[in-house]
Amino acid sequence: MRCVVELLDVLLGVFFWREMIPISYASFSSIWFWLLLVGIWAIFVQYFFGVSYHQLKHARHQSQSHKLLLAQSVFLYIQRSESLYTDMQKPLVLGPLSFLAAFWLTAAFYHDQELMQAVSFLVFPLVPSLIQRGHLAVRWIGAVPDEFEELFRSIRRLRRWSIVYSVLTVFSAAFWAMALWIEQYQL
């Protein structure tokens, strides 16, 4: 019973700002971390190649000229960032990025650096969705889909995967934070 009371005390302290510093290096107990985590994913699952999913969804029921304008804006965005998508697949870019990611994750989780752990939960889960977006963009650079529906279906599939990644990220960050809180408060 004492354990339940202490857990409620910790959780209520987190939610009602008691014993909580608004900006602190104890990231998982900061409201700013959680707002940033949810905000990043909310924006990330809404915008694809410079156009919001909401605009694409409503364009399906609009005139052909509206669909064409949105498709052109997506392809202009892809062409503008073509070098970024193709350069990211080169070994001279992937090697140092992989080293930095491995160094960061080792320092964060093996050496128990909470701030680095929090940044890891903010940044690294975006990688699978960015890889999917990059592959789709590289595929579209050479062969642009003829129909708006094909474009919409591809982006809708990409959005669904991004939502899955976001849910997994938020839940894994929440479980990791609870584990840290239980260890810290010895519940």
Which of these ranges, 125-134, 144-153, 155-164, has the smallest mean pLDDT? 144-153
Which tokens hold the place of 17?
């700002």
Which tokens hold the place of 25?
């290096």
Task: Please report whether residue 54 resides in a domain.
Answer: yes
Domain count of the fold of the chain: 1
Cβ neighbors of 37 (< 8 A, separation 6 or more) are 121, 122, 169, 170, 173
Which tokens hold the place of 19?
């014993």
In the prediction, which pLDDT does 74 show? 83
59, 47, 44: which is closest to 152 by C-alpha?
Answer: 59
Distance CA 168, CA 129 (A): 13
pLDDT in tens, 152-174: 888 889 999 999 999 999 999 99
What SS3 class is residue 51? strand
CB 78 within 8 A of CB 49: yes
Distance CA 103, CA 99 (A): 6
Q: What are phi and psi of 20, to 5 degrees?
A: -130, 130
**Domain residue limits at 108:** 2-10+37-185
Task: Please report whether residue 15 resides in a domain.
Answer: no
Task: Please report whether residue 99 resides in a domain.
Answer: yes
Distance CA 34, CA 28 (A): 8
Task: Please report whether residue 20 resides in a domain.
Answer: no
Task: Please report whether residue 16 resides in a domain.
Answer: no
pLDDT in tens, 32-69: 888 888 999 899 888 888 888 888 888 888 888 878 88
